[in-house]
Structure formats: C-alpha cells, structure tokens
Amino acid sequence: MILDLLPYEVPQQPRKRIGFIRYIMFLASILFVVTVLLVNYTNTSQVMLWSFIIGNVLYYVIGITLAIAFKDNRAFCKYICPITVFLKPASYFSLLRVKNDQEKCVDCGKCKTVCPMNVDMTDNSRKRLNGTECILCLKCVDECPAKALYL
C-alpha cells in the first residue's frame, strides 16, 4: 500500500530483464526458513520476531528504492517478490483473466499504457507479453474506449 503512494503508477520505462532475481529470493527464503526450523535455537520465537521486523524493513527499503530507481511503483513485484514463483503458474492456467474482443478492439494501445504490470491485453493467448503478471486491477477495462476488454 505504501508503494501506491509513490508517483509512478504507470511505468515510466520499458521493463528490465532481471526477473530471475525472484527465484534467487525464493531459494534464499526457503533456505532461511529451513535453517530456522532445523537449528535448535533456545528462543525460536525471538528469532521469528526479529526475522519478521527485519524482513518488513527490507521489503519497504528495497521496494521504495526500486520504485524510485525504475520509476515504477510495482518494481518490487515485477523483479524481486518471491511469491510470484507460485503466482505465475497459477495465473497462466487461471480461468479468471482479462480478455479482448478482437472485433471491437481499435488498437489504440491505451490498455498497454495504463497497465501497471506492462501486460499486453490485446493478445488473448496464454503466452501474451507479461500475461502472468496481471493483478486484475481492471484499469485497462476502464480505459478502453471501445469497451473491447472484459473479464
């Protein structure tokens, strides 16, 4: 929510090709949790509390830094967030997705410019550009002058 207060709601630059970092973050997260569970700390709840506090501070520092550096509020979600390792395959096979009525579409490109995740909504295939990144904000549906986009 804090990142939504930043001024870059629509990406200002083309997307970077550093999404592989999310897989590194995912593996690091798994290794950390396994380590905490396997090592017998005398005060595991204290370790978990500090992990929670430090993790949240890092989330905001990294998120705000990336948002400012890339001029994109959703930079953390696009490049770093380890949760997307699970969300991307689920989104690929999801029945709930924004679709484009090719008959109505006038190819104005407004849907592409308002999308905070750089999804190409004019393509209905499962392999559309950044298709698994859609967060269903429906800004594209609201902005479509021809009303060609729908759920």
Q: What is the pLDDT of residues 95-119, one digit of tens each?
A: 888 999 999 999 998 998 888 888 8
CATH class of 95-150: alpha beta
* Prediction pTM value: 0.67
34's tokens: 């396994």
Rounded Cα distance, 149 and 121, in Å: 8
Confidence at 88, pLDDT banded by 50, 70, 90: confident
Q: Look up tokens 């904000």; give the residue.
A: 137
- AA identity, residue 94: S
CA dihedral 134, 128, 22, 114 (to 10 degrees): -40
49 touches 112 (CB < 8 A): no
Domain residues of the chain, as ranges?
A: 2-82, 95-150
Confidence at 1, pLDDT banded by 50, 70, 90: low
Burial of 82 (0-12, 13-18, 19+ CB in 10 A): middle
84's tokens: 């997307």
Output the pLDDT for position 2.
Answer: 63
116 touches 11 (CB < 8 A): yes
Q: Which has the closest alpha carbon to 11: 109, 117, 98?
A: 117
